[in-house]
Amino acid sequence: MNLLIEYADGVSAYDNEAIYEICLNFLKLKSPHYCDINHLISSSMCEVTASFRFDGKLNTHLRKQIFDPRNMMCAVDPSCGKYFTVFTMLRSQNSLRDVHYELERMKSKIPPNFNQCSIKSECLNIPAKNVKLSGAVITNSTSNQEIFCRIGAQFDMMFKRKAFLYSGIFGKSAFGMDGMDELEFVEARSNLADLISDYQQYQETETNHEEDYSDSESLNKEEMQET
C-alpha cells in the first residue's frame, strides 16, 4: 500500500469475491477455479488498455450492461457512492454509427451519482478475441472505501494475532526474511485509514452540496408560485 500510494499513477482493484460471484451467476460455472478468475481479470485489463494499444475514436457513454453493478469486479454498492471520474471502453466490429447510437441512447439513463463526475469514453472497431462486442468501465468512486474497510478489518484481525509475522524458520518473521519490517505494516494500515477518511470526507461534502442545491431549488419553486 505504501509503494502504491507513493509511486503508482493508477491502481485497479479486483475483488476475488465479486469475480467469483460473476463466475457462478453469469458464467454458470459450478466450481470456478483461479484460472477462470484470472481469465476475467486479464480480459478486463485487455479492454482497459485497448485505447493505448490501438487507435480509436473518442465517444460519450457505454452500454447499459457495463454500468450494471452485478458485473462489477469489486464487491461494493455503487449506489451508495459518489463518482470522481469514469472511463468507458467499447470494442466492436460493428458499424461505429450503430455503436454511437447505442452509446448516445444511454445518456438519459445514467444514474444520478454519475452526473457531477468527469465521464470519458473510447470506442474501437478492433474487437477482443472470440467476441464481436465487448466493453469495460473504470471508475473512481467513494464506494471504493468498502473494499479498503473490508481489507482493513481482515488485516486488523490477523495483525492482532501477529499471524504470519513469526511463522518463519527459527522464529524469524516470514516477511522479515524478505526485507519487510513490522513497522511497514503499521504504516501501511495508517495510510489505508487515511485513504478511507479521504473518501468519506468527499462523500459527505458532495452529499451536503446536493442537499443545499435541493433546498435552493425548492425555495426557488416556492418563490415562483407566490409570484
How many angstroms separate the Cα of 145 from the Cα of each of 30, 60, 172, 217, 226? 31, 27, 34, 31, 45
Across-strand partners of 140?
85
Is 154 inside a domain boundary? yes
The enclosing domain of 178 has a CATH number of 1.10.287.600
Across-strand partners of 137?
88
Distance between CA atoms of 213 and 175, rounded to whole angstroms?
51
Torsion of CA 112, 84, 11, 137, to 10 degrees: 40
Distance between CA atoms of 82 and 201, rounded to whole angstroms?
11
**How distant is the alpha carbon of residue 113 from its chain centre?**
14
Is 224 inside a domain boundary? no
Across-strand partners of 139?
86
43 lies in the same domain as 112: yes
Print pLDDT tens along the chain (227 aa): 778 878 887 788 888 888 998 999 888 898 999 999 999 998 888 877 776 666 554 333 445 677 777 888 888 888 888 888 878 777 776 555 655 565 555 545 555 656 566 667 777 777 777 777 777 888 888 888 999 999 999 999 988 888 777 654 444 555 555 557 788 889 999 999 999 999 998 888 766 655 554 545 554 555 555 55
Specify the number of domains making up the chain.
Answer: 2
Q: Which of 108, 126, 141 is the last residue of a domain?
A: 141
Question: 86: which 3 cell numbers?
Answer: 469514469
Domain of residue 54: give its range.
Answer: 10-141
Q: Which of 141, 156, 177 is the last residue of a domain?
A: 141
Distance between CA atoms of 195 and 2, rounded to whole angstroms?
11
Q: DSSP label at 30? A: S
Tell me if residue 131 falls in helix, strand or coil.
Answer: coil
Question: Is the Cα torsion angle 214, 216, 219, 223 positive or negative in sign?
Answer: negative
Phi-psi region of 119 (alpha: psi -120 to 50; beta: other; left: phi over 0): beta
How many angstroms separate the Cα of 208 from the Cα of each of 84, 203, 204, 211, 214? 16, 9, 6, 5, 10
